[in-house]
Amino acid sequence: MITSLLELEELANCKRCDEASIVEELRVCIGSSCVSRGADEIEKNLKTAIENKGLQNRCRVKGVGCSGLCANGTLVSHYKNSTKENTLYEEIILDDVDALVASIEEQKSYSLKVCDTNQLFFTKQTKIVLENAGIIDPNDIEDYIAHGGYATLFHVLHEMMPVDVINEVKISGLRGRGGGGFPTGQKWESVYKVQSDQKYIVCNGDEGDPGAFMDRALMEADPHKVLEGMIIAGFACEATKGYIYVRAEYPIAVEKINRAIKQARKLGILGNQIAHSGFDFDIEVRLGGGAFVCGEATALIASIEGNRGNPRQKPPHLSDYGLWGEPTVLNNVETLANIPSILKNGGEWFKNIGTPTSTGTKIFALTGHIKNTGLVEVPMGITLRELIFEIGGGVSDGKALKAIQTGGPSGGCIPTQFLDLSIDYDSLKSVGTIMGSGGMIVIDESSNMVELAHFFMDFCKSASCGKCVPCRVGTTQLTLLLEKYIAKEATQANFELLKELSKVVKGTSLCGLGQTAPNPVLSTIRYFESEYLEGIKND
Amino acid sequence: MADIVDSRYKIIDQAMRKLGYEKSALLEVLHIAQETFGYLDRDALKFIAKRLKAPYSKVYGVATFYHRFTLKPQGKHTLVVCLGTACYIKGAKEILAALETRFAIKVTQTTNDNLLSLLSARCVGSCSIAPVMICDNKTYGKLTIDETLEKIEEILS
C-alpha cells in the first residue's frame, strides 16, 4: 500500500535503482500490429538468446507498447542506460534474433535493420499522451511509477480541491477526443455541480469507428495513464465509481487494462481511501459486444446496464441522468489520458500547444494508401500536407492523392485542394467533415468515391439499432440508391432524392449515428459530384 | 430446459455467482457463455434468463443485438475477414469474394463438412497492416488474395 507521495517516490527511486544495474534494454513492440507479425515469438526468442549468451545481467528484454511506425513492424529498440541512447530496429523477424543478439554481445549496432529516427515521421511528432508508449512495460505498474506515473494523482489528492482541478482543465481548453469536441472542463463542472450521493465516470473505449485504432494502442501501451486520468476525473466530479467500456474485439487491451486495475488496487491507488486522502474510487471493465451505436453516449450507458444498446432522447443529459439514473461523466480514452499531463504541467502549458480553439495534441491513425501507416501524435493545427506527405511519407505505390477521409462513417472526405488546411475541430467542420476520433484514411486516385460512400452507408445501415424510423429506413434506402449509382443505373430524379433523403435522415434521426450517417454521401457529392453523375444512365 | 448435467453450465453459473446474479451483468455472462459453448443456443439462453431472473425475451434480445454473439454453432476453424475502411480500400472485399467462391459459402455460413466458418468484422483495429483476417484468433495482415487462400489451405490441411 502506498499512502503518500513520499512513499510513491521511494518506490519510483527503488525501481530506478534496479534499472540502473541493467546496462541495456531490448524493447520489443507488443502492440497488436506487431504481435500479428509474430512479435511475441520474437520477444520469447530474444530472451532465450540473451540467456544462452549469458547476457541477461547486462541486457534485459521487455515488451513495450506501440512505437508508432506499424508499417515497418516488428519494431525492436535497443536502449543504452549509460548514454540514454536508443537505436530503433525495423522489420525484425525471427531470423534476425541471433544476429541482433550477436551484435549486442559485440557492442555493435545491427546496421542491417536500423530505422532512421531522424526522419520526419519521428521528428515532427509531439508526444504527450503517447510519451510512455514504446518505453515502459504496460504490464508493470512500477515501470509507470518510475517514469513519474501517479505522482500527479497524489499531488491532486493532497494539494488540490475538486474546483481547482476543474479550473485547470478548463484553462487547458481540452476538448473531447472522441470526436464531438465538447470542452472537458465544462462537462466535469456540470456533473460536479449536481448534488448526488452516487456519481459515475465512464471511459469510452468502444472504438467502433472503422479505420481507427488510437484508443486500442493507448490502452495497450500505457493503461495506467488512462486509469490515472480517470481517478483524477472521479476526484474532480466527486464520483466514486468508474467503468471502462472496451470493445470485445480488443482482447489485448482488455487484458492490459484488467491487469493494470489489479495492480493499482494492490498498491492502494484504487479502492478505499486512496493515498489516505479520504477519497474512494474503483474501476471496473465492461466488455462491448461489437455494436457501433454503443459509441453513442446514451446507448453506451444502456449497454453497461446490461441492455440492448439503444440510444434515447436527450435531454436529460448524462450529467443529470446517466448510468443507473445518476450523474455521469463520459469521456473518451484519449481525453482521459491527457489529464495527468495537464495537471502536472498546468492548463496554461497545454493551451500553448495547438491552436487557440483546439488545444493540445491529437493522435491519428494513418491508414489506407499511405507509406508510413501507423500511429502519430501531432499538435493540433498541423496541416494535412505535413501530416500526409512529411510524416506519412506520401501516397504509397507512387499514385496520386485523391482525398483524405476523417471521422469514419460520421465524417467526410477532404479533397486535395484543402491540403494546407489546419487540422483542428473548427477547420475540419468548415469543409464538411469532422475531427472524429482520429482515423485518417488516405485515398489514392484508383478509388471510386461513390463506392466509398456506399461502403459507409452500408456500415451505418447494419449498425443502425432500428429504434427510430429515419435512421432504420433511411440508411437502407440510401444504400439502395447508392447501389444504383454503382451499377450506373441511376436517374436524374434519383440524384435529387439522394440529396433530399440525406437531409431528412440528418435532420430527423434520434441519435448521432443517424444524424451523421449521410455525411460521407453529402461530402462526396460536394467535392466529387462528377462521379455521381457518371452513375446516371443516359436515355 | 437443460438441467445442470453439462459441466459447461457450471462454468457459466459460477461466473454469474461471481457477478452476484446482477441483471446488469448479462453481457458479461453472454460473453462467458459464448466462450464456453462456442455459440449461444436456446438452452444456454434460457438457463441464463432463469438464473438472472430476467425474461427470456430480454436475454434473447440482447444476444441478437450485439454482432459479437452468434446463435449458430461454428465450424472447426473460424475465419474473420475484416471489412473496416482501411481493409476495404485495400481490397478486403475482393478477398472475401474469393473465399466465398473457393469454399462455396456466403459470409456467416459454415462449410458442409463443418470445417470452416466464414465471418466478417467491422474493423478489428489492425488497420496499419490492412487488409487483415483473423483465423482462430490469430491475426494475419498485408494479405493478397493468393496468400489468403494459401494460408487457409495450410490451416485446413
Cell of A384: 494535412
* C-alpha to C-alpha distance for B114 and A37, rounded to whole angstroms: 28
Identify the DSSP state of A536. Answer: B
Q: Does residue A135 surpass a pLDDT of 50?
A: yes
Instruction: Report the helix count and the strand count for chain A, using DSSP H and E.
Output: 23, 14
What helix, strand, coil percent values describe chain B, rounded to 5?
A: 50, 10, 40
Residue of A nearest to B64 (CA): A308
* C-alpha to C-alpha distance for A244 and A250, rounded to whole angstroms: 13
B66 CB near a chain A CB, below 8 Å? yes
pLDDT digits (tens, 9 = 90+) for A202-213: 999 999 888 899
| Residues 110-149 in B contacting A (C-alpha not used; CB under 8 Å) | 121-130, 132, 137-141
Q: Do A447 and B86 touch (CB under 8 A)?
A: no
Phi, psi dihedral angles at A446 (to 5 degrees): -80, -10
Find the helix or strand (DSSP H, E) in which B118 lies. strand B116-121
CA distance A304 to chain B (A): 7
Q: Does residue B1 surpass a pLDDT of 60?
A: no
Q: Do A287 and B27 touch (CB under 8 A)?
A: yes
Contact A372/A69 with Cβ under 8 angstroms?
A: yes
Q: Which pLDDT belongs to residue B5?
A: 60
Which of A13-27, A105-119, A462-476, B7-21 ranks highest by mean pLDDT? A462-476
Q: Do A249 and B31 touch (CB under 8 A)?
A: no
Q: Does residue B2 surpass a pLDDT of 60?
A: no
The β-bridge partners of A441 are A367, A405
pLDDT level of residue A18 (50, 70, 90 thresholds): confident
Select from B27, B124, B128 the Cβ nearest to the Cβ of A367: B128
Q: Does residue A247 surpass a pLDDT of 90?
A: yes
Q: Does residue A79 surpass a pLDDT of 50?
A: yes
Q: State mean pLDDT over B69-77.
A: 93
Structural domains in chain B plus CATH codes: 7-65 (no CATH), 77-156 (3.40.30.10)
Q: Which pLDDT belongs to residue A19?
A: 80
pLDDT level of residue B157 (50, 70, 90 thresholds): confident
Q: Does residue A186 surpass a pLDDT of 70?
A: yes
The count of other CB atoms within 10 Å of the CB of residue A356 is 12
Q: Do B125 and A36 touch (CB under 8 A)?
A: no
Best A209, A323, A367 member to test B by mutation, with max B CBs in 10 Å, is A367
Question: What percent of chain B clears pLDDT 90, i.e. is strictly above it?
Answer: 87
Which distant-in-sequence residues (6+ apart) come within 8 Å of A68 by Cβ?
A121, A122, A125, A130, A133, A134, A374, A375, A376
Q: State mean pLDDT over A485-489.
A: 95
Q: State mean pLDDT over B93-113.
A: 95
Q: Does residue A351 surpass a pLDDT of 90?
A: yes
- Alpha carbon distances (Å) from A258 to A220, A245, A264, A364, B83: 11, 12, 10, 25, 28
Q: Do B122 and A375 touch (CB under 8 A)?
A: no
Q: Does residue B154 surpass a pLDDT of 70?
A: yes
Average pLDDT over chain A, rounded to whole?
95
pLDDT level of residue A20 (50, 70, 90 thresholds): confident
The DSSP string of A284-344 is EEEE--S-GGGGSHHHHHHHHTTS------SSSPTTTS-GGGS-EEEEEHHHHHHHHHHHH
* C-alpha to C-alpha distance for A158 and A10, rounded to whole angstroms: 17
Structural domains in chain A plus CATH codes: 19-116 (3.40.30.10), 149-351 (3.40.50.11540), 361-444 (3.10.20.600), 450-533 (1.20.1440.230)
Q: Does residue A93 surpass a pLDDT of 80?
A: yes
Identify the DSSP state of A271. Answer: B
Query: pTM of the prediction?
Result: 0.95
Q: Do B125 and A71 touch (CB under 8 A)?
A: no
In this prediction the ipTM stands at 0.92
CA distance B95 to chain A (A): 16
Q: Which pLDDT belongs to residue B111?
A: 95
